[in-house]
Amino acid sequence: MRTRPLTTRGAACLLLGVMLCIAANVLAARALLYLGVLLVVLPLIALLVVRAPRRRGEVWRQISTDLLAVGETSKVSVRFELYAPGIPHGRWSDTLPEAVRGDAAGEYPGETRLLHYELEGVRRGTATLGPLLLRTVDPFGLAQRVQSFGETRMVTVVPQVHALAPLPTKVGAAGGAAQTRSTRLGQGADNLIPRPYLSGDSRRRIHWRATAHRGSLMVRQEEEEASPDAVVVLDRAAARWARPGDGVDPAFEAAVSLCASAALCFVQDGYSVDVFDSAGSLLGALRGHEDDRDGLMVALATVTPRGEPRDLRAIIGGTPPGPLVLITGAIGADDAARLSTAGASAPMLIAAGARPEALVVAAGRGWHVAALHATADPADAWEAAMPRAKAPHG
């Protein structure tokens, strides 16, 4: 960061001194010469006072949350140890990236070496926090010095998660009895009995810990027989989204936020959840562990529109899930006609910028459809697309 060595006051003092020296020579006024020399020398002495001392410092940062969500506030504590002759007076400020905002500045020195400020996530992604800047001035405010201290700290801003209503039990049941959901809530994959992998088993049922322990592929036997699965697909195909340069696409941001919200909603309701992108890449597999959630949120923090979409049947595999949520962008009627529900018991299609006829075509193919608006609450689109349990006859 380049900063002028003299403040505005110091530059004015120097300029005035030079003008007085010139005037003293023209008018032969010795008093003006003395005053001009004094005004020229003062900023130079101030520069020497401010910039001569050798300083070094160490910075430690602690953020109250490992992952900062868009719209969420986190507290940052900064310990600043400055090693310098005397105690300089000035202002400190922490360098903030565009992904976050906060009032990261204050007077130095304060009551303690511990500095505090609040940080708010404003844009998805990874960003660098720091370095810490210290701006000091001389007692007369003529010269200034800005120094940077400490290492930078990476901060990850993850999508905002919205509270969504759970699906009715009957429409979400698949792969076994729906009532088993309540007994699995909060349990992890370690409670399931693994068995050897057989040809045709879904890769979503692989028990990775048992596989690593035994040295051969193992799958979750009980989950395959009696637990519901849910699949969330985020269509990130480049053709679906507007990309004006490097700007942020509000529709895509709303889609990513809904993707995270839907996956976590299913987990809280007892489902095993797999989150894919439209190319078939696994963004996250949620089995009730906190690490699974964090892994998905980190993956969604950096996801961008790119690539071409694949057929949903190829992404999901041969085992139809219970709920299937496809979150997509601007699709036409031809695109909707090619969307297969892959045998899901509760297929939901939520589209941002889709043409009305596309939603009509998708509904005719068995999808429960809704439009996603970038400026509206994603929970409204979720509610509109939610399938309803049929009332019993009789």
The mean pLDDT values, 10 residues at a time, for the chain of 394 residues are 85 95 91 94 94 90 90 93 85 92 87 86 92 92 93 92 86 43 39 71 71 76 56 94 76 96 93 93 88 92 92 85 93 93 92 92 95 92 84 43
Determine the angle formed by the axes of helices 30-51 and 8-27, rounding to 10 degrees: 150
333 and 372 share one domain? yes
Location of structure tokens 């303690």: 112
232 and 152 share one domain? no
Cβ contact 66:157 at 8 Å:
no
Q: How far apart are CA 223 and CA 148, in angstroms?
A: 54
Q: In angstroms, what CA-CA distances link 230 with 108, 133, 262? A: 53, 48, 10
Dihedral of CA atoms 268, 252, 308, 313 in degrees, nearest 10, equals: 30
125 and 252 share one domain? no
Q: Which two tokens stand for residue 217?
A: 């592929």
Task: Say how many C-beta atoms besides its own lie within 10 A of residue 149's C-beta.
Answer: 18
Residue 148 lies in a domain: yes
Q: Which two tokens stand for residue 30?
A: 């010795």
258 and 364 share one domain? yes
Q: Domain with 113 in it: what CATH number?
A: 2.60.40.10
Q: Domain with 280 in it: what CATH number?
A: 3.40.50
pTM of the full structure = 0.77
Residue 301 lies in a domain: yes
- The verdict on whether omega for the bond into residue 131 sits within 30 degrees of 0, i.e. cis, is yes
Which phi and psi angles does 313 have, rounded to 5°?
-65, -35
Residue 250 lies in a domain: yes
pLDDT of residue 3: 79
Cβ contact 55:82 at 8 Å:
yes
Domain that residue 270 falls in: 169-187+228-385
Q: In angstroms, what CA-CA distances link 307 with 35, 104, 173, 275, 278? A: 71, 39, 33, 17, 8
Please compute, for residue 115, the number of CA atoms within 13 A of its CA located in the half-sphere on the CB side.
24
pLDDT of residue 174: 46
